[in-house]
């Protein structure tokens, strides 16, 4: 199977042993992994350094939402570990996104992505926190804000990739979590999930796939299904 760097496998585990076991099983079939807060907290930054040291790219999904100085410090720490992508919450506003972008300038390989609206959220969830907009409207609003702040791209669901590509143009990254196998279940991303084929056809630059691969009896075969379904 040809390694397609556009497909990122999410290491959504609660400990280092299971994450490393999966990376070993997948072998050369993938060299791009996502580490989120749960695994980073459980395993520590050494796992990021080890994966990078083996030639992998690491998407450090921190979803930073803090005062600008703290966000900048966390971005610099991510860059020092060798991460290639790091996320900030676009809902935090221009200040934290601009601080993240400025901090990332020290690390030419590091890309700052702005999380728009998490894939599990619906319009009623936005209403609960006082946002009078549909998810589509809020995603677009935050994506424009992220572009103005200098972010390298955005994180959004597969269903929004097309309109985001139209609005942002050809250069920014559009990274889409919530990717499922054809005919598969959406799981925790149920509100706004989609297939890799749909995401790439709409203009996504990368897709993130988690449990459909990581919990599969044969992760390599599952990863192949994701890529074949995407035309990759």
Render pLDDT for 130-155 as a digit per residue (tens, 0 to 9).
999 998 899 999 999 999 999 999 99
Helices within 44-187 (DSSP H only): 46-53, 68-81, 94-104, 123-128, 135-149, 161-168
Decide which of 151 and 159 is more confident: 151
Taking the C-alpha atoms of residue 120 and residue 191, their distance in angstroms, rounded to an integer, is 5
Average pLDDT, the chain: 91
Is residue 190 pLDDT above 50, yes or no? no
For the annotated catalytic residues, the residue numbers are 63
How do 85-89 and 57-64 pair as beta strands?
parallel
Span 202-214, mean pLDDT?
93
Taking the C-alpha atoms of residue 101 and residue 74, their distance in angstroms, rounded to an integer, is 12
Query: What percentage of the chain reaches a pLDDT higher than 90?
Result: 78
Span 184-212, mean pLDDT?
77
Is residue 27 pLDDT above 90, yes or no? yes
Domains and CATH numbers, the chain: 7-226 (3.20.20.70)
Span 116-140, mean pLDDT?
90
| 203-215 exposure pattern, b = at least 16 Cβ within 10 A, e = fewer | bbbbbbbbbbbbe
Structure confidence at residue 95 (pLDDT): 97
Structure confidence at residue 1 (pLDDT): 41
Structure confidence at residue 94 (pLDDT): 97
Span 6-21, mean pLDDT?
96
Taking the C-alpha atoms of residue 129 and residue 213, their distance in angstroms, rounded to an integer, is 33
Is residue 229 pLDDT above 80, yes or no? no
Q: Residue 106 burial (CB < 10 Å; 0-12/13-18/19+)?
A: exposed
Least confident among 2-16, 139-153, 200-214: 2-16
Structure confidence at residue 158 (pLDDT): 86
Closest CA to 79 of 100, 107, 58: 107
Q: Is 152 helix (H, G, I), strand (E, B) or coil?
A: coil
pLDDT band at 182 (very low <50, low <70, confident <90, very high): low
């Amino acid at each position: 199977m040809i390694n397609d760097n556009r497909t990122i496998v999410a290491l959504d585990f609660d400990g280092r042993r299971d994450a490393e076991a999966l990376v070993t099983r997948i072998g050369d079939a993938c060299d791009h992994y996502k580490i989120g807060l749960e695994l980073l907290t459980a395993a520590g930054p050494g796992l990021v350094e080890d994966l990078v040291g083996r030639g992998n790219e690491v998407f450090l999904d921190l979803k930073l939402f803090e005062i600008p100085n703290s966000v900048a410090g966390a971005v610099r720490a991510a860059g020092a570990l060798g991460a290639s992508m790091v996320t900030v919450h676009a809902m935090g506003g221009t200040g934290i996104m601009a601080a993240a972008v400025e901090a990332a300038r020290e690390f030419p390989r590091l890309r700052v992505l702005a999380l728009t609206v998490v894939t599990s959220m619906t319009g009623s969830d936005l209403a609960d926190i006082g946002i009078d907009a549909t998810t589509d409207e809020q995603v677009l609003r935050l994506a424009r804000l992220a572009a103005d702040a200098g972010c390298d791209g955005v994180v959004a669901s597969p269903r929004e990739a097309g309109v985001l590509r139209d609005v942002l143009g050809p250069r920014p990254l559009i990274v889409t979590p919530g990717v499922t196998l054809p005919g598969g279940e959406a799981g925790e991303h149920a509100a706004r999930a989609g297939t890799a084929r749909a995401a790439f056809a709409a203009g996504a630059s990368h897709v993130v796939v988690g449990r459909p691969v990581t919990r599969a009896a044969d992760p390599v075969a599952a990863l192949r299904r994701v890529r074949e379904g995407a035309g990759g």
